[in-house]
Structure 1
Amino acid sequence: MLKKQAQEEGKKDKNGKPKVNADPNVQVYTLEITGRNLLIGASIFIYLSYFFFMSSNDSDSQEISFQQFRTDYLDKNLVAKLVVVNDSYAEVILNQNGKQQTHSDGLWFGIGSVESFEHNLARAQDDRGISEDFRVPVLYTRKTNWTSTVLNILPTGLLLVFMYFMFKSSVPSGKGGIFGMSKNTARKFNPETDVKVKFEDVAGLGEAKEEVMEFVKFLKNPKKYEDLGAKIPRGAILSGPPGTGKTLIAKATAGEAGVPFYSCSGSDFYQMFVGVGASKVRDLFKMARENAPCIVFVDEIDAIGKSRSSGGARGNDERESTLNQLLVEMDGFTASDHIVVLAGTNRVDVLDSALMRPGRFDRHIQIDKPELEGRKEIFNVHLKKLTLSPTIDKDLSGRLSTLTPGFSGADIANVCNEAALTAARMEAEFVELVHFELAIERVIGGIEKKSKVLNEQERRVVAYHEAGHAVCGWYLKYADPLLKVSIIPRGRGALGYAQYLPPDIYLMSAKQLEDRMTMALGGRMSEELHFASVTSGASDDFKKVTNMATAMVTQLGMSKKVGYVNYESTDSDDLTKPFSEETASIIDEEVRRIINMCRERCLAMLKDKSTEVALVAEELLAKEVITREDMIRLLGKRPFPERNDAFDKYLEKRDATESQEK
């Protein structure tokens, strides 16, 4: 590769001193030779040399047939002798008379086999009556064709060289190229320069921080615990849904402890060759012991830690040998190692029991999605990075946390980023509350499909469908609070969109589940009441209703006929039903009974509230989007107090900024 150097370098001699009469117009180029360029150049040179050699040989030698040899040369007494080379072809050596008459040299022909050649040559000379003493002499020799030999081994050599450079480029510097493929690829973070995350930077994970704080205290002052005879847990599993901050809290642990932090993924140990993964595990823990005290974090450990009985692998495969080596390394720790192993996964149920036992991963830290106060803390962290309007709601984080139930930390970061992008797209100077609301709608329901234009009949069907949901939820005690209803198509295939705010609850009664199923059936029942034919728009509603009813019967013990049993299958490889055909028939009957009961209840409510359904549907057709305030104006306040305290605390307030937005 050619690199153009600076003009000043062209003015210097080989000793680095400036030249006296250097021409400023002269451009100096240097050739940078790398292994890959050398490989390509050598290949081109060898192939060009071969073709040149073959073309030059073709001009000096000529292949003839045996019949041509006999007719044109042997019968005319122009042959001095024959030389059989490598039992494969015969070179024709002409006598002086033959050279003068033909002016050709380097003749040869293929012989097939030595026996056939000798037989044909003898018969040709017998036909001419040549005696034994005057026959053409035949010599046998062997020659080595170095060009052919090189070309035979050249593809193999080029393949080996290519593999060498491929492995060298795929392995980080200092790992030894192809000979270092068994080295671990864990990335080391230096506590002084790399790990800057502290616990104060991690919001919404109070309980998890308390759990891992014990690891931090041990790594900072291990003697305090050892003097009392205590042993710190050697490892902890950080489990939870995606985006809840498992990797972040592991890095914050390293930042607080001020020790080296080794980060790698479980898939880094899974290799094509058996034994390489286990070698990488050994190398990782050897490096950790040399740099103790330290923290080793293995993200997505389920890639190698799946249960050996149900992980789908059979025999001595690479994943199983890697897992065995990991078990040995963790069990081989001593109290003086001062090494803590953290592992993250969202599939803790598939991990091998030997990996989860005390002495390896002693602690199981569950990191769930944040609740209201946790979401508020996370919003406070991300809102600091945004340019907010001076007149925005002072308790913006509380309002946004109420609008985002069930969001993880990653979802909240995405909402804040989408709000800033929306503000920039709308040419706004500051990020306003309306930008956050649009961002939340986009994260939940997808982008508005402005190109998807519904005809008037389809708009009426969608409006009455959504009105059925809204009215049922408004008059059902245990339904979630309604915030907004829209009939604008969105990116996730939804022709209508309703935003509810469920509270953070942990127990669901049978009455609450029935109210939710009744509200989910409100869309289809409204279509049946107001149109001659129903549509396919309720398929997702039926899926939700069926799942809830099935869970009530098979898992939650809410069916008297089935009883207090749980038929949920825990083994992913078990393709058989955990109940008999008779029980399956009873389960089907109970699921249908519950759904039909909710259907009759929903149908009766919508018939009784037909005027309210029409009011809401016509309002949707006129405005396309209606809010909770519109519902209160049309139907009056809900006859039940809200079960979500945060709803009244944050959403019932209307400051001057919101009034201006309206």
Structure 2
Amino acid sequence: MALAPLSVASPSLPLCKAQDISKEIHPKIPLRGDIQILKLTSPNAGLSRREILNITGVGLLSAGTTTAQPVRAEPEAPIESASNQLSYSRFLEYLNEGMVKKVDLFENGLVAIAEIYNPVLNKIQRVKVQLPGLQPELVRKLKEKEIDFAAHPVEPNYGLMFLDFLTNLAFPLLFLGSLLLRSSINTPGGPNLPFGLGRSKAKFQMEPNTGITFDDMAGVDEAKQDFKEIVDFLKTPEKYTAIGAKIPKGVLLVGPPGTGKTLLAKAIAGEAGVPFFSLSGSEFIEMFVGVGASRVRDLFNKAKANSPCLVFIDEIDAVGRQRGTGIGGGNDEREQTLNQLLTEMDGFSGDSGVIVLAATNRPEILDSALLRPGRFDHQVSVALPDVRGREEILRVHSSNKKLDKDVSLSVVAMRTSGFSGADLANLMNEAAILAGRRGKDKITVKEIDDSIDRIVAGLEGTKMTDGKSKTLVAYHEIGHAVCATLTPGHDPVQKVTLIPRGQARGLTWFLPGEDPSLVSKQQIFARIVGGLGGRAAEEVIFGESEITTGAAGDLQQITQIARQMVTRYGMSEIGPWTLIDPAVQNSDVVFRMLARNSMSEKLAEDIDRSVKQIIEKAYEIAKNHIRNNRDAIDQLVEILLEKETLSGDEFRSILSEYTDIGQNRQNLKALPELAAA
């Protein structure tokens, strides 16, 4: 872009002294004596303001102020001596036209003070240019034009830097100081840890409103009876102290997950109506040594101030693990926390009126000093509910749900053997969700059956297409059902289905006749026979070369059952021995791996041989069932392929057309192989 020749001077723009036009510009701005400026307000001006700026290349700082000081300045002069501002693009134009005489770079190449020749004024003016950075192209152009340029480094102002450092540091120091002061004032007893680390994180309720009472609990009648005595003690302590009874220090709830231990603690708090503290055992532990012990002291100080009260510690095994093992998470911080807990529960303080409730599903790993009387005086077992307990739990969780008249909670309780209270609550919720999804206004037997299948076996998969694979799965499942039905001691078949669930291509469900709290040798052996029925059907009907991997899960289960018969229940020719150390069996995996095997090689060989004999006898019985009932199996498979699901009654009705089920079971019971098993 070519510039307008700066040598053209218009007579309509006369030059004048600054004093002549100072009043026209601004009456209060003093101007220097010899500085010549342009009077932009001249009525004779033939050029516009923009054209004048383009010609001179000088912009005014503000309307009515001077433009430049034409006195030549040295590069060392301060930047403030250049009052003219020039854009970077105009600066490049002047540079290309050769009007730039000298350039001084300041502030790490971000600001330039340039000496530019102004032909209108016939003087060299100093202008200030804001650069986008020290660019290699700019340096190259300056070298090509042989322009004198220099870079001036910024001299550090150490006084200002030190002042900035103090300013930046003052606020954090004041903030930390206030936190430390507040912590030292508000933390009673123990080390004054910053940020409130030493304070207990327990949730406190002066008047517990848990919404749970003993009426809401079902299936745990024995535990409820024990806790009613504690609640009565808290409400009327004089009735017990009059005869010399002391308030118990602690109650330990032991049981599998989901059996209602935490729910029982809420019920006790709701019934007693005394101050209630609740927290988890893991909330004591922190990465800083001494924090856990400080939190224990703080918790019991608050509890004693509100006595009589209840303190509930859920999952106490997180802090109460056995000391001195060095395995499975032992560390100084956890052991110090446990030592402080032991001291607070039964130390020199005596009777403090604080009852500690604790829950765990791993009592075998707790420290023996924690379990002794005087700390945990009562140990309440909260086991899985039996049939009657499951039915009561189902009634509690179905009280707010609409059930079809055909739904029998007693039958559902029989089908849900091994379910905990949490499992049963989830079962009824899943059934309600399925009923709503299917557009029904009531929960029917179909929704409950599907919910049980979903919880036990997994989600329903895509149905199989007709073919060899589906036929093989049908024979496999019918083999399970036939061998189980014809073997004395086995539970009756509930249904057989070809609908995949989880990783299973087909499923055979059984309905327990009685609660399996006590299982006989005959019943265990019958389960092994039923479990091998699928593999036996594949081998007898399709041949040994056509057996598949579908029986892998069955073989794993029956092998485990047979080994337990030999090593745990003493149901083999070896004798009534328990060949597994209960302490090792109930310990963590690390302890079981490191435990020394105390049995001899001869005994290990006898165990393996006994397990093999049990499985081989059961497999021969299963194959005999398949051979002797081939016609019934073919008919059942044909119907199953058509309907994909057979109920237990339909299955037994078809099977009874080909064989006498009762007589067959009676004849099999007299076999010497079954008697030997």
Taking structure 1 as the reference length, the TM-score comes to 0.70
Alignment match of 1:517 (pick from 502, 521, 528) = 528
Equivalent-residue separation in structure 2 for 1:373 and 1:598 (angstroms): 33
Equivalent-residue separation in structure 1 for 2:357 and 2:213 (angstroms): 17
Q: Where does 1:15-414 land on structure 2 (aligned, <5 Å)?
A: 60=106, 144=158, 146-147=160-161, 178-191=194-207, 194-310=209-325, 312=327, 317-332=332-347, 336-389=351-404, 392-393=405-406, 396-414=408-426
Tell me if 1:594 matches 2:614: yes
CA contact (8 A) 2:289 2:333 kept: yes
Deviation per CA, 1:588-630, whole angstroms, max 9, x where unpaired?
1221121112111212222122222222222211111000121
Q: Tell me the amino acid that sits aligned with residue 240 of structure 1.
A: G
Equivalent-residue separation in structure 1 for 2:166 and 2:600 (angstroms): 67
**Aligned-residue RMSD, C-alpha:** 3.5
- Secondary structure in 1 matching 2:439: coil
- Secondary structure in 2 matching 1:262: strand
- Secondary structure in 1 matching 2:651: helix
Instruction: Tell me the residue number matched to 1:423.
Output: 435
Equivalent-residue separation in structure 2 for 1:638 and 1:349 (angstroms): 46
Equivalent-residue separation in structure 1 for 2:167 and 2:582 (angstroms): 58
Equivalent-residue separation in structure 1 for 2:575 and 2:418 (angstroms): 32
CA contact (8 A) 1:483 1:500 kept: yes
User: How many residues are paired up?
Assistant: 505
CA contact (8 A) 1:567 1:579 kept: no
Q: Greater CA deviation, 252-261 or 313-322?
A: 313-322
Unaligned 5+ residue runs, structure 1? 1-54, 64-101, 110-141, 169-173, 643-662
Alignment match of 1:488 (pick from 499, 507, 514) = 499
Summarize the Cα distance change of 1:314–1:510 in structure 2 as closer, same or farther, 3 Å threshold: closer
Deviation per CA, 1:14-70, whole angstroms, max 9, x where unpaired?
xxxxxxxxxxxxxxxxxxxxxxxxxxxxxxxxxxxxxxxxx99x965679xxxxxxx
Instruction: State, as a whole percentage, how many aligned pairs show the same letter.
Output: 40
Equivalent-residue separation in structure 2 for 1:522 and 1:162 (angstroms): 73
Summarize the Cα distance change of 1:147–1:474 in structure 2 as closer, same or farther, 3 Å threshold: same
Alignment match of 1:462 (pick from 470, 473, 478) = 473
Summarize the Cα distance change of 1:59–1:264 in structure 2 as closer, same or farther, 3 Å threshold: farther
CA contact (8 A) 1:422 1:435 kept: yes
- Secondary structure in 2 matching 1:523: helix
Question: Post-superposition shift, 1:150?
Answer: 5.0
Alignment match of 2:662 (pick from 629, 636, 639) = 639
CA contact (8 A) 1:164 1:178 kept: no
CA contact (8 A) 2:573 2:610 kept: no
Equivalent-residue separation in structure 2 for 1:270 and 1:618 (angstroms): 62
Question: Post-superposition shift, 1:402?
Answer: 2.2
Q: Tell me the amino acid that sits aligned with residue 189 of structure 1.
A: Q
Q: Where does 1:431-510 land on structure 2 (aligned, <5 Å)?
A: 431-450=443-462, 453-454=464-465, 456-490=467-501, 492-502=502-512, 503-510=514-521
Summarize the Cα distance change of 1:330–1:400 in structure 2 as closer, same or farther, 3 Å threshold: same
Equivalent-residue separation in structure 1 for 2:663 and 2:332 (angstroms): 61
Alignment match of 2:565 (pick from 533, 542, 552) = 552
Taking structure 2 as the reference length, the TM-score comes to 0.69
Q: Greater CA deviation, 145-154 or 334-343?
A: 145-154
Tell me if 1:628 matches 2:648: yes
CA contact (8 A) 1:215 1:340 kept: no
Question: Post-superposition shift, 1:200?
Answer: 0.3
Instruction: Tell me the residue number matched to 1:615.
Output: 635
Deviation per CA, 1:340-386, whole angstroms, max 9, x where unpaired?
11111111111111111111112111111111111111111111111
- Secondary structure in 2 matching 1:639: helix
Equivalent-residue separation in structure 1 for 2:493 and 2:643 (angstroms): 17
- Secondary structure in 1 matching 2:375: coil
Q: Tell me the amino acid that sits aligned with residue 550 of structure 1.
A: R
- Secondary structure in 1 matching 2:583: coil
Question: Post-superposition shift, 1:189?
Answer: 2.9
CA contact (8 A) 1:219 1:257 kept: yes
Equivalent-residue separation in structure 2 for 1:530 and 1:552 (angstroms): 30
Equivalent-residue separation in structure 1 for 2:627 and 2:497 (angstroms): 23
Deviation per CA, 1:113-158, whole angstroms, max 9, x where unpaired?
xxxxxxxxxxxxxxxxxxxxxxxxxxxxx97354378569969987
Summarize the Cα distance change of 1:276–1:580 in structure 2 as closer, same or farther, 3 Å threshold: same
Q: Tell me the amino acid that sits aligned with residue 470 of structure 2.
A: R
CA contact (8 A) 1:219 1:338 kept: no
Summarize the Cα distance change of 1:462–1:230 in structure 2 as closer, same or farther, 3 Å threshold: same
Equivalent-residue separation in structure 2 for 1:513 and 1:59 (angstroms): 95
Deviation per CA, 1:204-230, whole angstroms, max 9, x where unpaired?
111110111111111111121111111
Summarize the Cα distance change of 1:526–1:310 in structure 2 as closer, same or farther, 3 Å threshold: farther
Bigger Rg, which one: 2
Equivalent-residue separation in structure 1 for 2:177 and 2:410 (angstroms): 57
Instruction: Tell me the residue number matched to 1:658.
Output: none
Tell me if 1:527 matches 2:547: no
Equivalent-residue separation in structure 2 for 1:405 and 1:346 (angstroms): 20
CA contact (8 A) 2:105 2:151 kept: no
Instruction: Tell me the residue number matched to 1:542.
Output: 555
Question: Post-superposition shift, 1:539?
Answer: 1.2
Q: Greater CA deviation, 586-595 or 554-563?
A: 554-563
CA contact (8 A) 2:106 2:154 kept: no
Equivalent-residue separation in structure 2 for 1:155 and 1:243 (angstroms): 53
Q: Tell me the amino acid that sits aligned with residue 505 of structure 2.
A: L
Deviation per CA, 1:214-262, whole angstroms, max 9, x where unpaired?
1111111112111111123211111111111000011101111111221
